[in-house]
Structure 1
Amino acid sequence: MYRRIRLKTPLVLAIVLAVFQVQARADQIKLKNGDLLTGSIVKKEATTVVFKTNYAGTINVQWSEIENITSDEPVHLVLSDGSSLRGELVSTDPGDIGLEQENGGEEKNFSLMKTRYINPSPDLTGEGYKWTGNINAGGTLTQGNSETKGINIDGETVFRALKNRFTIGGYFHRLEDRGRNTQFNSRVNGKYDRFLEPQWYVYGNTSFENDRFRDLKLRSTAGVGTGYQIFETPNLNLSIEGGVNYINEDFYKAQDDSYPGLRWALRYDQMLFHSSTKFFHEHEVLMDIQQTSHYLLTSKTGIRFPPIFNFNASTQFQYNWDSRPAVGRKRADSILMFTLGYGW
Structure 2
Amino acid sequence: MAGLRTRAGSLCAAGLLAAQIAAAVADDGTNLSATPTTDEIVLQNGSRILGTVTATRDGVVTVETEFAGTLKIAQDKIQSMQTREAVVMKLRDGTVVEDQQVVVQDTELVLPPSLVPAAPYSLADLAVMNPQPWELGDGYRWTGLASAALTIEDGNTDTEEFDYKLESVWRSLRDRFTAKMVGEVDEANGVKNAENWKANGKYDYFLKDPTYYTGMVGAAEADKFADLDLRYYIGPYLGHQFYEEPVLTLSGEVGAVYVNENFIVADDKEYPGLNWTANATSNILGGDSRLYFDHNGILNLDDASDLIMNTTFGLAFPLMFSIEAAAEVLLEYDSGVPPGVEEMDQTYRFRVGYTW
Question: TM-score if structure 1 supplies the norm length?
Answer: 0.85
Aligned to 2:234: 222
- Are residues 93 and 280 of structure 1, via their aligned partners in 2, closer, same or farther at CA, if it must alter by over 3 Å? closer
In 1, are the aligned partners of 2:283 and 2:289 still within 8 Å (CA)? yes
- Are residues 336 and 114 of structure 1, via their aligned partners in 2, closer, same or farther at CA, if it must alter by over 3 Å? closer
- Are residues 75 and 218 of structure 1, via their aligned partners in 2, closer, same or farther at CA, if it must alter by over 3 Å? same
Aligned to 1:44: 56
Secondary structure of 2:236 counterpart: strand
C-alpha distance in 1, partners of 2:102/2:199? 51
Give 1:286 shift: 0.9
Q: After TM superposition, list the pairs within 5 Å mapping 1:14-53 onto structure 2.
A: 24-53=36-65
Aligned to 2:14: none
- Kindly indicate whether residue 344 of structure 2 is the aligned counterpart of residue 305 of structure 1: no
Aligned to 2:262: 250
Cα deviation digits, residues 156-199 of structure 1 (max 9, x gap): 11111112111111111011122221101000111111111332
Aligned to 2:12: none
Give 1:33 shift: 3.2
Percent of matched pairs sharing the same residue: 29
Q: After TM superposition, list the pairs within 5 Å mapping 1:59-74 onto structure 2.
A: 59-74=71-86
Aligned to 1:324: 336
In 2, are the aligned partners of 1:142 and 1:149 still within 8 Å (CA)? yes
- Kindly indicate whether residue 128 of structure 2 is the aligned counterpart of residue 117 of structure 1: yes
Aligned to 2:220: 208
In 1, are the aligned partners of 2:86 and 2:102 still within 8 Å (CA)? no
Secondary structure of 2:84 counterpart: coil
C-alpha distance in 2, partners of 1:131/1:162? 13
In 1, are the aligned partners of 2:55 and 2:130 still within 8 Å (CA)? yes
**Alignment RMSD, CA only?**
2.8
- Kindly indicate whether residue 254 of structure 2 is the aligned counterpart of residue 260 of structure 1: no
In 2, are the aligned partners of 1:44 and 1:120 still within 8 Å (CA)? no
Secondary structure of 1:33 counterpart: coil
Aligned to 2:9: none
C-alpha distance in 1, partners of 2:62/2:102? 18
- Are residues 144 and 194 of structure 1, via their aligned partners in 2, closer, same or farther at CA, if it must alter by over 3 Å? same
Give the greater-gyration-radius structure (CA): 2
Give 1:34 shift: 3.0
Aligned to 1:187: 198
Secondary structure of 1:305 counterpart: strand
Aligned to 2:169: 158
Secondary structure of 2:303 counterpart: coil
Secondary structure of 2:51 counterpart: strand
Cα deviation digits, residues 9-58 of structure 1 (max 9, x gap): xxxx9xx99x969x932222333333333222222232222233222322
In 2, are the aligned partners of 1:130 and 1:161 still within 8 Å (CA)? yes
Paired positions, count:
327
- Kindly indicate whether residue 287 of structure 2 is the aligned counterpart of residue 287 of structure 1: no
- Kindly indicate whether residue 126 of structure 2 is the aligned counterpart of residue 97 of structure 1: no
Which amino acid in structure 1 is aligned with residue 160 of structure 2? K
Aligned to 1:126: 137
- Kindly indicate whether residue 85 of structure 2 is the aligned counterpart of residue 77 of structure 1: no
Which amino acid in structure 1 is aligned with residue 189 of structure 2? R
C-alpha distance in 2, partners of 1:162/1:79? 14
Give 1:91 shift: 4.8
- Kindly indicate whether residue 247 of structure 2 is the aligned counterpart of residue 231 of structure 1: no
C-alpha distance in 2, partners of 1:235/1:209? 33
Which amino acid in structure 2 is aligned with residue 85 of structure 1? V
